[in-house]
Amino acid sequence: MQNDKVKCGLIEKTNSQYIDMIEKEAYVWYEKNWKHDDYEHSHNRSQLTFVEEGYQYFHIDQKIYLVPQNHVIWIPSGKSHRITSEAQTVNLMVFLFKTVFDEDFYQQVHVFAVPSVLKEMLLYASKWTQSLIEDEEQDLFFKAILKSLPNFCKESNNLEIPVPKDERLIPVCNEINTHFKYNLDVDSLAEKAQMSVRSLQRIFKNETGITLQKYHQLVRILKSIELIDTKQFTLSQIAYSVGYQSLSAFTSSYYGIMKSKPKINKKQKA
């Protein structure tokens, strides 16, 4: 047992398996400057992660989910996931539930912005961080959070980056991810995939659920979120860095994905 590591209250036996020795129905783990291992893992508790500061990428089932600041991700029990982030600081709250309500919502992965009411509830719950002592108020409060999630959830499906299974499309995705600031050259992408333009567009849409153009837009906006997190650039600088010719075009595209306008740090000017 001396070599076992404890993460979020769970005992890590291997790089992918955890043993749950906790009797509590639900508990919360809050940490600043969160550090994650980069390998895939799973556990037998459903997980609600609130990103208070920074951002996280969750790799789940051939998709990469972006969870920006003031967003949450719901991960069903037993679902394998891997977490990455280049954010300078990541402050997270992780809620782990042994049992959940019998609704379809709790069996799917969800990412959504946290409304003010839910945010206040989550922050209030932080007073129980790392507490494994039975507490009636906490149990009732956590059940209230759990029960309210489907009502608070307004799906942000555009925060998913699909990963195609067709290996011919991997070079296409790599090209877009590397040269996202430039306009799409569909002819060149088709050559990389060794197929016609029409076939590429059709197969890419079938594999990912979105068009090449939408994938390109999504990558640009996700890159902009990373730059905003650094607090080193103005929004205008970020807009040009990710390939937009004007701040207004960037703001419009950002709003289309995030359903909110990009925020300027108090020390920044557009």
Same domain, 102 and 208: no
CA 110, 66, 221, 162 torsion-angle sign:
negative
* In-domain check, residue 196: yes
- Residue 217 token pair: 């837009």
The reply to whether 68 and 194 lie within a common domain is no
In a domain, 188, yes or no: yes
CATH number at residue 45: 2.60.120.280
pLDDT in tens, 33-72: 777 666 788 888 999 999 998 888 899 988 888 888 888 9
Is there a contact between 183 and 244 (Cβ–Cβ < 8 Å)?
A: no
138-152, 235-249, 251-265: lowest mean pLDDT where? 251-265
101 shares its domain with 219:
no
Of 122-126, 181-185, 263-267, which range is least confident?
Answer: 263-267
Q: Are residues 141 and 178 in the same domain?
A: no
At 70-104, the pLDDT tens digits run 889 999 999 999 888 877 788 899 999 999 999 99
Q: Among residues 94, 109, 100, 14, which one has the least CA distance to residue 59?
A: 109
CA 239 to chain centre: 22
DSSP string, the chain: -TT-EEETTEEESSSS-EE----SSEEEEEESS----SS-B--SSEEEEEEEES-EEEEETTEEEEE-TTEEEEE-TT--BEEE---S--EEEEEEES---SSGGGGS-EEEEPPHHHHHHHHHHGGGTT--S--HHHHHHHHHHHHHHHHH----GGGEEE--S-GGGHHHHHHHHHSTTSPP-HHHHHHHHTS-HHHHHHHHHHHHSS-HHHHHHHHHHHHHHHHHHHT-S-HHHHHHHTT-SSHHHHHHHHHHHHSSPPPPPTT---
Pair 184, 112 in one domain: no
Beta-bridge mates of residue 66: 57
CB 111, CB 73: distance < 8 Å? yes
Q: Looking at the 3D structure of the chain, how many domains does it have?
A: 2
Domain end, chosen from 122, 141, 159, is at 159
> What is each CA distance from 17 to 6, 78, 80, 85, 97, in whole angstroms?
12, 10, 10, 22, 17
What pLDDT, on a 0 to 100 scale, did the predictor assign at position 181?
Answer: 94
Q: Which residue has the tokens 């990389």?
A: 192
Half-sphere exposure of 39 (CA within 13 A, CB side): 6
Question: Do residue 131 and residue 68 come from a single domain?
Answer: yes
pTM over 0.95: no
Whether 135 maps to a domain, the answer reads yes
68 is in which domain, residue-wise? 22-159
Is 80 in contact with 41 (CB distance < 8 Å)? yes
Structure tokens at 25: 């129905």
For residues 173-178, give the mean pLDDT: 92
Residue 8 is predicted with a pLDDT of: 60
Q: What is the pLDDT of residue 161?
A: 83
Most confident of 8-12, 139-143, 156-160: 139-143
Residue type present at position 221: I
Q: Sign of dihedral through CA atoms 34, 39, 42, 43?
A: negative
The CATH number of residue 208's host domain is: 1.10.10.60
Handedness of CA 113, 119, 121, 124 (dihedral sign): positive
